[in-house]
Chains A and B, each alone.
Chain A
């Protein structure tokens, strides 16, 4: 009852296996296509074809390579030889070390690869401490442990995980993890506005509960859906994240909300709503990663980068005003 990534699945192993039995045909087809593509152009330059390929899923055997290439992490790694090693060798501040250590044994306790200190826990510590030392303004923020953990599972390489982390925090994501968390608060607000646009009824309901979006969506954004959605689905989302950027996070959130509108609208109070939002991330809808990914590009309708940028600008300014 352990999945290929080392996670024990005592509760949904059967449905996971069932889904994978069907998904394997898709994977084989994608795998062939990708091999051919990579033979023709080994450098994975950005194009409409590659974008389409990415949206249909990167086979696991190519994931590390595609993520590294698409995010610019590979380039940084090659232009900074020895940098990761030097970060590890440096003297790290005790509060940084302590904060990371406190979370090591509680990161993926359900994963056999992370269970003992000799295991991937030491890689997790290294990647996080190296990143915290590299980016002192951010240091370590809870949530980064889950992200680094997935990166290590997929790349099986600390240095690559470090550079992917760097790509995410420096370029792909807004400012989610710095002490002020302005980017996170902004995106939570942007999501609430987008919901109001796409589903006024849900928007109206949620407006009755101030702070509800922070409660519901902070975790979605900070953890990039790790431990929120099933792993296979998260990896598919990350394929798009590394290739196209953070807009996909809104597509996912919107799809979860829009697809479950009726359920959400039945909620009559805060506990109901919280329960409902816990519920909508589970089940067959999110487990079937291939159709889920198709839905995120159709169900929310058009979502242009211009719209997202404008909303982010406006919401950020509003938050800054409120806080000053």
Chain B
């Protein structure tokens, strides 16, 4: 039987080319790591359920985007920004330039999502490569603080903080939905409500229904 979820959140993962966006998402959704992965051409899509509290499951739809600048041109990725409630903004801790570009990414995201807003998490990726580090944790935390975001360091290779990053972001969004700061809106895909377990009478009813997505 397909699992039941309370809400569906749409997330977008952005950042410079080669910072490891696809690898991070694959580690999270498929539990594996490829030493080398193809550059993402256009947009890719992944999904996974997370349990933020016992019995409270959130369905995440995760949009992977190309890092190369031209794929960010308006109609290729704009719709994905606008319809996202949350995002992971990645840089590579061994690549200073990718850190310097964080500001541009944020500006771009903000210009696309109006009138909505996105809850971002700043992610310093490839933290297993400590010896090649070019961005200190302190300066990254400072930048995140200035933008009012949290900061997490992750490694897809060693599976460090990958669960943590996605779950924390999901929890933050969930809190905002609960407090009414984020509301479900017609014509916006960022947050959708799903099935509430106690109104479903039997698992059969759920699997039979074809009017709503359960996967």
Contacts and interface: CB of A to CB of B under 8 A. Distances in A.
Interface of A: 99, 102-103, 105-107, 109, 141-143, 145, 177-181, 184-185, 210-211, 214-215, 218-219, 222-223, 227, 268-272, 274, 319, 322-323
A210 to B, nearest CB: 6
B117 interface: no
Contacts of B167: none
Given A141-B70, A218-B43, 4 more contacts: A99-B17, A103-B39, A106-B38, A184-B76
Contact of B79 (A106, A210, A271): A210
Contacts of B69: 179
B106 to A, nearest CB: 21
Contacts of B212: 268-269
B199 interface: no
Contacts of A271: 45, 47, 61, 213, 215
Given A218-B41, A270-B45, A211 B71 contact: no
B202 to A, nearest CB: 19
B213 A269 contact: yes
B76 A218 contact: yes
Contacts of B36: 105-106, 109
Contact of A142 (B39, B47, B214): B39
B43 A214 contact: yes
B66 interface: yes
Contacts of A269: 212-215
A179 B40 CA distance: 16
For chain B, which range describes its interface: under 10, 10 to 19, 20 to 34, or 35 or more residues? 20 to 34
Contacts of A102: 17-18
A215 B45 contact: yes
A177 B70 CA distance: 8
B187 to A, nearest CB: 10
Interface of B: 17-18, 35-45, 47, 61, 66, 68-71, 73-76, 79-80, 210, 212-215
Nearest to A277: B45
A93 B73 CA distance: 22
A322 B75 contact: yes
Interface of B (DSSP majority class): loop
A323 B75 CA distance: 8
B45 A106 contact: no
A179 B73 contact: yes
Contacts of A214: 42-43, 75-76, 79
A128 B149 CA distance: 39
Contact of B70 (A105, A181, A322): A181
B45 A211 contact: no
Contacts of A222: 41-42
B42 A274 contact: no
Contacts of B80: 211
A218 B66 CA distance: 11
A272 B213 contact: yes
29 contacts: A102-B17, A102-B18, A103-B39, A105-B36, A106-B36, A106-B37, A106-B38, A109-B35, A109-B38, A141-B70, A142-B71, A143-B41, A179-B73, A180-B70, A181-B76, A185-B76, A210-B79, A215-B42, A222-B42, A268-B210, A268-B212, A269-B212, A269-B213, A269-B214, A270-B45, A270-B213, A271-B61, A272-B213, A274-B45
A103 B36 CA distance: 10
A91 to B, nearest CB: 22
Contacts of A141: 68, 70
A272 B47 CA distance: 10
A15 B210 CA distance: 35
The 4 A-B pairs of least Cβ separation, nearest first, read A269-B213, A218-B42, A109-B36, A211-B79
Contacts of A106: 36-39
Looking at B71, B73, B75, B79, the one whose CB has the most chain A CB atoms below 10 A away is B75
Contact of B61 (A99, A177, A227, A270): A270
A179 B213 contact: no
A136 to B, nearest CB: 14
Contacts of B79: 210-211, 214
Nearest to A105: B36
Nearest to A101: B18
A320 B158 CA distance: 45
A143 B39 CA distance: 8
Contacts of A105: 36
A184 B61 CA distance: 25
Contacts of A215: 42-45
A307 B76 CA distance: 25
Nearest to A185: B75
Contact of A179 (B43, B45, B70, B215): B70
